[in-house]
Amino acid sequence: MKDTLLVISDIHGALSGAGLVREALQYHECGEILCLGDVLYHGPRNDVPDDYAPKQVIGIMNALKDHIIAVRGNCEAEVDQMVLDFPIMSDSNTLFYHGHRIFMTHGHVYSPDHLPLLAEGTMFLSGHTHVPTAYEKDGLLLCNPGSVSLPKGGHPRTYGLIDESGFTVYTADHQVCMHTDWVD
C-alpha cells in the first residue's frame, strides 16, 4: 500500500463525486482518504447535483471505510452518521505524516480566515468553499482540495494528494492543477 494520502471534500451526494473518490484512490494507489466532510446532503445553498444519489454514495463510501479518516461538514447530521460506517461527526482531526502535522477540518468552524492555534509548519486542510487552494502563509500551509462534485469559482472538479513533497491538487482527469511544498 502506498504512502500517499487522498484528500477529498464536498461530495454532496453526487454519484460522480463518490466515483471520482474511488477512481482517484486506485489511480494514485493511495493508502488513506482524508475526507473533509459534506458527504451525503447537498445543503440548502447548493443546487441539487445532477446525479444526486446519496443511497448509492453511501454504498461506495462504506466500501472504502477502512481507508477513511473524516471530519464533519456543515451539511452532516446524526442521520448521516447512522448510515455511514466510519466516524464523521468530529469538527477536526490532527494526524502526523512523515514528521509533519496535518490539521483537518471542513472549513465552517475553522477556516484560513479563522485559524485555531497551530504550530508553524502545520498543513491546515479545509474544504467548504469548493475552491482549491495550495499556498503558504505565515508559516502554515493552507490547502483545500476543492470539490469532487460541485466546484465553484470557475474551477473544475478537483481532489488533493499529500505525499513527501507536499500538497497537490488534481483535476478529475488526474492532471496537476496546483502544488505547494511542505514548510520546513
Q: What is the pLDDT of residues 11-25, one digit of tens each?
A: 999 999 999 999 999
Distances (CA, A) of 100 to 8, 120, 122, 167: 19, 10, 7, 12
CATH code of residue 151? 3.60.21.10
Q: Per-residue confidence at 1, pLDDT binned at 50, 70, 90?
A: very low
The pLDDT value given to residue 24: 98
Digit-coded pLDDT (tens) for 129-150: 999 999 999 999 999 999 999 9
% of the chain beyond a pLDDT of 70: 99
Digit-coded pLDDT (tens) for 148-170: 999 999 999 999 999 999 999 99
Domain count for the chain: 1
What global pTM score does this model have?
0.96
Q: Per-residue confidence at 58, pLDDT binned at 50, 70, 90?
A: very high
The pLDDT value given to residue 29: 96
Digit-coded pLDDT (tens) for 17-50: 999 999 999 999 999 999 999 999 988 888 888 9
The pLDDT value given to residue 165: 95
Average pLDDT, the chain: 96
The pLDDT value given to residue 184: 76
Digit-coded pLDDT (tens) for 105-122: 999 999 999 999 999 999
Contact between 135 and 112 (Cβ < 8 Å): no
Dist CA 179 CA 127 (whole Å): 16
Dist CA 3 CA 17 (whole Å): 23
For 70, the domain range is: 5-181
The pLDDT value given to residue 28: 97
